[in-house]
Structure 1
Amino acid sequence: MRKNGIAIIILLILVVWGVYDYTNNNGQQNKQVSTSGVKVGIAKGNMAPDFNLLSLDEKNVKLSDFTGKKVILNFWGTWCPPCRVEMPHMEKMYNHDGDNVVVLSVNLTQTEKSESDVKAFVEDFGLTFPVVMDTDGDVASTYQISAYPTSYFIDSQGIIREIFKGAINDEMMEKAISKMD
């Protein structure tokens, strides 16, 4: 009988702890939820974290500036061979459907030898889409960039719909965009 009493007490403690842990975690999650009820984060289905970076022409650019449009958020470096392969595809997509799809290119500037390398790269490739400079690596850190290039496909409401790590081509972009609103 004594063993049963101890087992019941342990079980009650576990239940109380489980209820406490559940309610405590739900309270933390509610703090992370945006006003639209979607969690801000970097996973598919999350609201993409906003940021503010300077463009090559020294203008402030925020991700939220493009709300209402589909966005390909592309992280890259000039030294990255797959990034070089991918850039003509990004430019083609931007020129093909630039009214509805924005390519927002985030250069991982903290990994570059100099900012002039970035400007030369953009000129050499004839890139016309917005290029912003992540000089401190804060945005790359927020988005946990570990592979180059990495692209987030964000719908017109700011929700991440697809994530690609590594170079992508026209067909992959078209397919991902066709699934977004």
Structure 2
Amino acid sequence: MRKNVVAIIAVLVLVIWGTYDYTTKNSKQAETMNQQQNKADAEVGIKKGNKAPDFELLHLSGSPVKLSDFLGKKLILNFWATWCPPCRAEMPHMEKFYKDNEKDVVVLAVNLTNTEKKRSDVTAFVEDFALTFPIVMDAEGNKASMYQIFAYPTSYMIDSEGIIQEIFQGAINYDMMKKTMSKIN
């Protein structure tokens, strides 16, 4: 009799544990699916939580580069100009961060070429600062308008699914980049 009671209690414990485990796993799966669906349904825009608007610009080398080329990677989208003192202060931090994290994070620097005196200033700047991350030219200022850039520099921190997670207006340093990008998938 005592063995039967112990067996019944053991079966009940297993049933309760199995039900709890099943319910917990299903709720976690549902939550993950909801988060993925929310990202897939994210509105295209320039605010946190929006899917970053895609664009295509020419790289310094002349080849076309699309923002969507970097889907699947975390991205710092940086708008800058050579004549901008905070941009100049920020670039060594960008380069160091890129070199330290290039397997996980891409830096895409959009030069506000329409604000430059001459295009050769950009090439000289890139050489002077020994920049190795991709640099594209916004020759018409259309992308700066699309992203409503009014402070130089401006950086958008974008997750691997193309969703804007953070926006910085003004120069940021290495530690800010590291802290922000470590929180992004």
Q: TM-score range by the shorter chain?
A: 0.7 to 0.9
| 5+ long unaligned stretches in structure 2 | 1-37
Aligned partner of 1:68 among 60, 65, 72: 72
Contact residue 154 and residue 167 of structure 2 kept, 8 A: yes
With structure 2 as the length reference, what TM-score do the two structures score? 0.79
Amino acid at match of 1:66: F
Alpha-carbon distance in 2 for matches of 1:37, 1:90: 31
Report how many aligned residue pairs link the two structures.
148
Q: 1:161 to 1:35 in 2, by over 3 A?
A: closer
Shift of 1:36: 2.0
Which residue in the other structure is 1:4 paired with? none
Quote the sequence identity (%).
67
Which residue in the other structure is 1:130 paired with? 134
| 5+ long unaligned stretches in structure 1 | 1-33
Which residue in the other structure is 2:153 paired with? 149
Alpha-carbon distance in 2 for matches of 1:93, 1:111: 26
Q: 1:107 to 1:45 in 2, by over 3 A?
A: same
Aligned partner of 1:121 among 100, 106, 125: 125
Alpha-carbon distance in 2 for matches of 1:53, 1:35: 25
Alpha-carbon distance in 1 for matches of 2:39, 2:176: 32
| CA displacement, residues 34-93 of structure 1 (integer Å, 9 cap, x when unaligned) | 992110000000000000000100010000000000000000000000000000000001
Which residue in the other structure is 1:100 paired with? 104
Q: 1:37 to 1:136 in 2, by over 3 A?
A: same
Q: 1:35 to 1:88 in 2, by over 3 A?
A: closer
- Give 3-state SS (helix, strand or coil) of 2:40's partner: coil
Alpha-carbon distance in 2 for matches of 1:172, 1:54: 28
Which residue in the other structure is 1:40 paired with? 44
Aligned partner of 1:86 among 78, 87, 90: 90
Amino acid at match of 1:62: K
Contact residue 154 and residue 171 of structure 2 kept, 8 A: yes
